[in-house]
Amino acid sequence: MMRYYIVDAFTDRPFGGNPAGVVLLDEDPFPSDATMRQVAAELRYSETAFVRRLGGRGFHLRYFTPLAEVELCGHATVATFALLWQTGLGDGSCRCLTAAGDLEVEVAGGEVAMQMATPSIRATIADSDAIYEAVGLAGYRPELPVQTAYAGLADIMAQVPDVDALQSLSPDMEAIARATSRHKAVSLHVFALTGDGHTAHVRDFAPQYGVPEESATGTANAALTHYLWRIGVVAAPARCSFVQGEAMGRPSVVKTRLAADGTITVGGTAAVVAMGTMLPDGTALTSQHSTHRP
């Protein structure tokens, strides 16, 4: 049997932030890929993390959307380690093995700070017309370049004029799926720079992976941090703050830290909202609903 939890990441209270499924396997082997996809589809969240203990403070995580496996998921990792802390892990550094690399995660008092994969700019998109048509801003010419940035996953970074324009986007999910597929990206990460104490307000769309919109994305905001550093908007070292999920009614704040050498960590808290057990084939056996704060 598998224990599953529903955990809201990048928030300190239930029903905020970005929900993720977390399946704790202890030291048991991972189920088949087909089973993990079925479990993710059954839980219906953008990502579900499957977690194996490797001994000591080492863990192996795999991440599944309802449609496919992805290399890394920031909010599901924050959810996982906040949950592990609540269930007795204790403060300290942990080793997290993922398909994006072997990462370090620091846990202190329920606050999780995860090292991201080595960031990079993958490509500049010279012809961005299709990108902006896909979100209802046909003809818009941004001040900043449209680029694909990577911090564990590849995401397209696209600036919009202001927060009002960001919140009133009209995303065409089929067009976004075509654009992200064409540019070998997981999501379209749209942002508006602000002067309200946060670095930017953002929205993230990943329909080709069965995720129309995310309310908080650690990997994409880490990639945005790298992008803003590379184009000179942010100087290292820096602490950045990104507001996300407003259009979904689930406002989140994702905090990143950019070191002088360009490495990036993403931090936040999480709240457990439900727990239960599943049979290995994904059939629900029992379910207990509860709310806890980290």
The two three-digit tokens of residue 25, written as one number = 């396997």
Residue 275, judged by CB atoms within 10 A of its CB (0-12, 13-18, 19+), counts as buried
- DSSP tag of 160: -
**Closest C-alpha among 192, 215, 193, 196 to residue 204:** 215
By DSSP bridging, strand 154-159 and strand 187-193 are parallel
| Tokens read off for 257 | 């830290």
> From CA 123, how far away is CA 147, in angstroms rounded?
6
Contact 256, 111 (CB under 8 A): no
- List residues with catalytic annotation: 47
Under 8 Å between Cβ of 294 and 83? no
CA distance 230 to 224: 10
